[in-house]
Chain A
Amino acid sequence: MAEGGDVEWELSKENIQPLRRGRAISALHQALSQQQDGVSSAINQQRQAFESEVRMYEGDDPLDVWDRYIKWTEQTFPQGGKESNLGTLLERVVTRFTDEKKYHNDPRYVDLWIKFAENCPEPLDIYRYMQAQGIGVTQASLYIAWSEEYENQGNCRKADLVYQEGFKKCAEPHDKLQQFHKALQARVSRQVMMNVEEDDSDNEPKQPERVSLADLKHRGKKKAIAPVNRTGHAIRSISGGLLSHGPSVLGNASNSRLVIFDENKTESAGPSEPKLESWVAPPTSKAKENEQRPERWCDVKLPQKSKYGRTVMAPPPPKPTFQPFVEETDQPPTMTPCKINPAVNTVLSSRKPCREETPLKRLQEHHQQQKEAESGKLQEQSMYCKELLLSGATEFCFEEVRAERYFKKMAQESKEVRGQKDEASASTSN
């Protein structure tokens, strides 16, 4: 390979998603050189070929086409993104074969599920769903991916439990599972060791976290420049909010969220500053477990905690006991002048999300529908080959399907004709 050609991948290294299995360098070069002029016709043709193969496949291993299609997509679109359609493809393939028991523990199918899960906002839910459906329960790769997800979220105990589950199910290959389990244990023990070393000297929190909205201490004389280190001592005391001008009291409570009630202090600060409130520190990033569901806030009253610890409801605004004076001549305009006739102009408002759509929900829905279809409860029945039109990542029209069939027939016929000719020529030569 010429040296000039190598520069391409280095120039766009930030736009290449690393793959677990690595990339074929030739595919990468091709993809990057075609990148400038959008999705090229060659790529489109290949994609079209895969799309029609997915529909027209008649062998006994339809997963194979999908597997190749997805691998091709990964290699051809190094930066991922929308035009790669990878998310849709993964979702399609995963839903397509959920009912095919023979694939449930096929390593290819399980790998596709794991890729799908990694593409989702909540991979753990997907893994649980897989387990419930019995997909990949005897495959070591499921437990490895699942455990890694737990580990990434910092839950090493659960990560270990997942491996135990895998051992219980006798997941294959056993030695691979064991190897990854050992690696996890090694990582955890190293982490613990390091934490112990740190904790020996002082009782700092185990993992100094960057607290959002935290003020930063100045370092040295340069006041304007924030220190790069935003953890530990670099964060100024944030427990005080308004109280921060009294650092002598709260000075050493740098990371505590509790403000201890101090009788002497309130007396001094009492009536002159009635608005003095203790601000609870902002939640740390780990607080995701207690995430609040969105709900109506219009009639919710926020109990306000005062400095004194009692709960005080905000007093309702008092009704004025007097009639405000209105000048007789001052008649307010009945309506603001409107240039555009409101009846003609359609009013737009942004569409409200009716419900949350996650890939997992769609999956479950699909599953539900299929169950209903089996029991004959399904209300709709499509009288055309809906499956064929919609089964790929993009939609086909009837003509495309028909053309595909036609070409296939033609190919077969020409083959037959050629065969006959061959036969004929063979017989004449005899």
Chain B
Amino acid sequence: MTSTLKGITLKGSAELVAEFFSFGINSILYQRGIYPPETFSRVTHYDMSLQLSTDPKLKNYLTNVVSQLKEWLFECTVQKLVLVITCLETNEVLERWQFDIECDKSAKENSTPREKSIKTIQDEIRSVIRQITATVTFLPLLETPCAFDLLVYTDKDLAVPEKWEESGPQIIDQSEEVRLRSFTTSIHKVNSMVAYKRTDSV
């Protein structure tokens, strides 16, 4: 069927977005040095080389999160995904990567595929990841060992799955916020943003 190649369905969109998060989170962890660089291996995806973690525990955790996320994306109940980087010793939040997800809930009833080719979507995703890489130009150096956490904002009435727990927003006070590019699959729209501690100068 040629029509499925051209258009995009809710299921396909959820998969694409989840895949973006998997690569995006890996690149942030690599770029910000949360895990040692030798635990990453290079893969080519979206026509660019990306770093994927080889740490079994981390991989396991990320697969869990992403598969759960895919479910929520499919149900259109997820609003935000936030990657929080905290100082290991003081638990202070140093960086906050926020991805706002706008779901077009009408796609749930109306299952006709939308007109947008995968290639254009992937092009958009690529430029988001490129921008994530480029943020090192203004982000402060993370001088201390850091840990990361993933927060997912969902619709209120959602039952909390067994492996998840409620958490605070972990917002940085006195932060500088930079909006990054966004991409859309025409069903899910993802806006990215990074917040970091404001420098005390100027």
Chain B residues near A194 (CB, 8 Å)? 38
Contact (Cβ within 8 A) A3 B179: yes
List, sorted by A's number, 18 A–B pairs whose CB atoms are closer than 8 Å. Answer: A6-B179, A9-B134, A10-B134, A13-B137, A16-B137, A18-B137, A18-B139, A21-B140, A21-B200, A22-B138, A22-B139, A22-B176, A24-B199, A24-B201, A24-B202, A25-B176, A183-B144, A194-B38
Residue of B144, B180, B199, B201 with most chain A CB atoms under a 10 A cut-off: B201
Chain B residues near A175 (CB, 8 Å)? 89
Contact (Cβ within 8 A) A190 B201: no
A206 CA / B200 CA spacing, docked (Å): 43
B130 to chain A, nearest CB (A): 8
Known contacts A71-B201, A72-B201, A72-B202: A25-B178 contact under CB 8 Å: yes
Residues of A within 8 A of B (CB): 1, 3, 6, 9-10, 13, 16, 18-25, 27-28, 68, 71-72, 74-75, 175, 179-180, 183, 190, 194
Let me know if B136 is at the binding interface, CB within 8 A. Answer: yes
Chain A residues near B7 (CB, 8 Å)? none
A206 CA / B120 CA spacing, docked (Å): 47
Chain A residues near B139 (CB, 8 Å)? 18, 22
Known contacts A71-B201, A75-B201, A179-B89: A22-B179 contact under CB 8 Å: no
Contact (Cβ within 8 A) A10 B131: yes
From DSSP, what is the main secondary structure of chain A's interface residues? helix
Let me know if B198 is at the binding interface, CB within 8 A. Answer: yes
B152-202 at interface with A (beta carbon < 8 Å)? 176-182, 196-202
Contact (Cβ within 8 A) B199 A18: no
10 more contacts with CB within 8 A, not counting A20-B140, A22-B197, A179-B144, are A9-B138, A10-B134, A16-B137, A18-B139, A19-B141, A21-B201, A22-B138, A22-B141, A180-B143, A183-B145
A18 to chain B, nearest CB (A): 6
Measured as residues with beta carbon below 8 angstroms from the partner, the interface class of chain B is 20 to 34
A179 CA / B89 CA spacing, docked (Å): 9
B19 to chain A, nearest CB (A): 23
A24 CA / B201 CA spacing, docked (Å): 8
Chain A residues near B200 (CB, 8 Å)? 21
Contact (Cβ within 8 A) B138 A23: yes
Residue of B nearest to A190 (CB): B36
Contact (Cβ within 8 A) A13 B134: yes
Contact (Cβ within 8 A) B199 A21: yes
Residue of B nearest to A71 (CB): B201
Residue of A nearest to B200 (CB): A21
Chain B residues near A1 (CB, 8 Å)? 178-179
B41 to chain A, nearest CB (A): 16
A122 CA / B179 CA spacing, docked (Å): 39
Residue of B138, B140, B143, B182 with most chain A CB atoms under a 10 A cut-off: B138
A28 to chain B, nearest CB (A): 6
Contact (Cβ within 8 A) A68 B180: no
Q: Which of B89, B137, B141, B182 contacts A9 (CB 8 A)?
A: B137
Chain A residues near B136 (CB, 8 Å)? 18
Chain A residues near B137 (CB, 8 Å)? 9, 13, 16, 18, 23
A21 CA / B201 CA spacing, docked (Å): 9
B23 to chain A, nearest CB (A): 19
Residue of A nearest to B87 (CB): A179
Residue of B nearest to A75 (CB): B202
